[in-house]
Structure 1
């Protein structure tokens, strides 16, 4: 799966904080002077609403100045204990020796795990990058070149070939980049790290089980920095649960066997509930004055009900009747593109819990079937919010009495609920979407009310905390 499933961008960092995090990544040193600790805490309040997979900062890590040899000894002690636990769970001695002997943590894995993008990418930027004309062209070539294999998977599992190719395109650019990181070493590094040790420890055990059952040799299990494997980027637990032998050679190899990778993706989607009689969704055009609060995956209603509210297809034609209940999603707010999405869209979200990713899969599949590029919402405000600006949105909401959770620069569900409440009170379209225009509106409101932020600072006339 995409690495977004197993990692989160949970910190807003100043240049100094980034430097400190890199120091920890390389040396696992985390006892700092009180002033530095204060800097870290100020920059990195974890938002409980979206903290799935996040954990507290590491504790019990040696003080600055610990010799590098002690760091190596500490990792080796952890690895020895893990080896004993893995053996107790049935991993063979041969696999443990082949996979864990001489293992060292990978600095580049910790650096990737701790690095944070400075800006939040807008939906339109995300989609344009991932569903480019070139990717559509290459996807057409993949459909033609693997027609027999894809057709067999479609007949067996009920997942249309174009969707399988869309996942393939988004995950590895049709096999163009499968990753070059030793999976066992990457997972051991992340399991030893204190941010999400239990999750990655379980993935490391599953990686050893893959080796133990003879699918892939220890030296050949290579993938992404976060431990995802093969053409479709399965994490080890998904590999064990859903991967199948597509070429009939008696083992499953998602990196070197495209038949295995294609059939495994189809099997996963089938087991997740894919409906062969249903599309993922469709782009729609909203009527003027539409109530944006009706959007959201939590609300479903028949397509006829959406049509009665004035929704039409993107080309302006009426919505066709359909039995299923659809939800409306607005990935870039009321002014951006709009989509009615089905239960199959929710299946895509099981693969990767990102709305942007799920829409990109569906849209790429449509383009591979001859569908048109997006037609609506292309003139939306496409200025991205930085993490600092998103945190200011949250602080402004809190100052005005709306609870966004702990300000952390992450627009999670509590933050979006607070935004909707503010938008309703302010007479704005209640789409829950954080944007620069929303930030400007919040700051203007605080200026008018002479209301300070929760930390006591005032918004200055040139905007931003004084």
Structure 2
């Protein structure tokens, strides 16, 4: 989870383009991956990792150079926001979230009481990060972080995470055989980075352990603790959707927070046309420019943003939390005539592609990977559409025909 030095918590860290230098370049400088790991033993022990743990976890360890390809395709920064939100805040996730809030109501209520973060926001983080525990990632954390510690452009950052992961194993918090997650080292129900685990993980179920993999109460309480430490203010909303006056050209930006009276003076209203009313100082968020949906966001939105530094990510959690509270979804329209697809629609799209003979390994899982993109692009070309490989309403409509 939360990154150090402007690195996001989850599988979606903002790595520079130099990351594509690949492990081979770094290995050429360091001599080899094995030599690099051997050279990390001293710094690891100095940081508090014991020698036995380091030796056991690195014996026979090999790098995974595929990780550098994953780093170049982070959806928060590559995907149109209407596509990104369509898959994260769909009716399926809302229904699942409400069911999980009912199932884990006691744990959520305890986390809210203890840390002051409302239950819907905690649940929304859980839903976006791991689909309520369905998708942790399956890459060995130690291998991933060791690879990133010896290659790429942020080796110092990832070495800190590598050492933190070894300490987690050393402390007995996570079974090494279950210590898997994202390519970047995030793990568990709410996808903490190892250093964040060491700083903010708490015992939520009273068993004396902090286990974000096997204990939902631990994960929910730890997430609430993280948000509190990130500046969450109890009782303050993340924000709300607003309506801009025609041809609005005034200030905007999450960081430029002003009183509601200042925004009202510029002609902004709530999305239903009613007055803004009172509230905390807020910034005007225009994720698709003034022609798309607009939001006034408080410092609690910033707390969510700190979890993974992308406004689209924070907005997904914020909007999902509203839906989990029983509120309506977006009112404003995105500035496109070709919207993104929900996960159910993506599965339908894949099913229809396979019926046309495209090889997707027999999977209609809603995940738009390389094979699906290639199939979409080929179908688009044959259907007279722009062959961009994007899963959109135009492609689904053409397939249905």
TM over 0.5: yes
User: What is the CA distance between 1:382 and its match in structure 2?
Assistant: 6.4
In the other structure, the counterpart of 1:425 is none
User: What is the CA distance between 1:6 and its match in structure 2?
Assistant: 2.5
Please point out which of 241, 254, 277 is paired with 1:320: 277
Tell whether the 8 Å contact from 2:168 to 2:174 is kept in structure 1 after alignment.
yes
**CA deviation vs aligned residue, 1:302-347 (integer Å, no higher than 9, x gap):** 112212221111122221222x111101000010000000010111
Please point out which of 220, 235, 238 is paired with 1:277: 235
In the other structure, the counterpart of 2:255 is 298
In the other structure, the counterpart of 2:212 is 254
CA distance in 1, matches of 2:54, 2:190: 26
In the other structure, the counterpart of 1:364 is 320
Please point out which of 92, 98, 117 is paired with 1:159: 117
CA distance in 2, matches of 1:383, 1:216: 41
CA distance in 1, matches of 2:302, 2:177: 36
CA distance in 2, matches of 1:373, 1:338: 13
Check if 1:267 corresponds to 2:267: no
Could you say what secondary structure the match of 2:15 adopts?
Answer: coil
Could you say what secondary structure the match of 2:254 adopts?
Answer: coil
- Go from structure 1 to structure 2 and tell me whether the alpha carbon gap of 1:74 and 1:29 turns closer, same or farther (over 3 Å shift): closer
Check if 1:218 corresponds to 2:225: no
Tell whether the 8 Å contact from 2:141 to 2:179 is kept in structure 1 after alignment.
yes
Please point out which of 194, 200, 203 is paired with 1:245: 203
User: What is the CA distance between 1:5 and its match in structure 2?
Assistant: 5.1
CA distance in 2, matches of 1:344, 1:154: 15
In the other structure, the counterpart of 1:8 is 15
CA distance in 1, matches of 2:125, 2:193: 15
In the other structure, the counterpart of 2:379 is none
CA distance in 2, matches of 1:129, 1:216: 30
- Go from structure 1 to structure 2 and tell me whether the alpha carbon gap of 1:301 and 1:90 turns closer, same or farther (over 3 Å shift): closer
Check if 1:148 corresponds to 2:114: no
CA distance in 1, matches of 2:261, 2:95: 35
Tell whether the 8 Å contact from 1:122 to 1:383 is kept in structure 2 after alignment.
no
- Go from structure 1 to structure 2 and tell me whether the alpha carbon gap of 1:378 and 1:81 turns closer, same or farther (over 3 Å shift): closer
- Go from structure 1 to structure 2 and tell me whether the alpha carbon gap of 1:125 and 1:113 turns closer, same or farther (over 3 Å shift): closer
Q: Which has the larger radius of gyration?
A: 1
CA distance in 2, matches of 1:239, 1:341: 27
More displaced 10-residue stretch of structure 1: 154-163 or 293-302: 293-302
More displaced 10-residue stretch of structure 1: 363-372 or 313-322: 313-322
CA distance in 1, matches of 2:87, 2:50: 44
CA RMSD of aligned residues (A): 2.4
Gaps of 5+ in 2: 2-8, 341-401
CA distance in 2, matches of 1:345, 1:264: 18
User: What is the CA distance between 1:61 and its match in structure 2?
Assistant: 4.2
Could you say what secondary structure the match of 1:141 adopts?
Answer: helix
TM-score scaled to structure 1, two decimals? Answer: 0.67
CA distance in 2, matches of 1:75, 1:168: 35
User: What is the CA distance between 1:108 and its match in structure 2?
Assistant: 3.0
- Go from structure 1 to structure 2 and tell me whether the alpha carbon gap of 1:358 and 1:218 turns closer, same or farther (over 3 Å shift): same
In the other structure, the counterpart of 1:106 is 64
Could you say what secondary structure the match of 1:76 adopts?
Answer: helix
Gaps of 5+ in 1: 13-20, 31-57, 63-72, 385-466
CA distance in 2, matches of 1:312, 1:373: 17
Tell whether the 8 Å contact from 2:111 to 2:224 is kept in structure 1 after alignment.
yes
TM-score scaled to structure 2, two decimals? Answer: 0.77
CA distance in 1, matches of 2:226, 2:74: 30
Q: Matched residue pairs, number?
A: 332
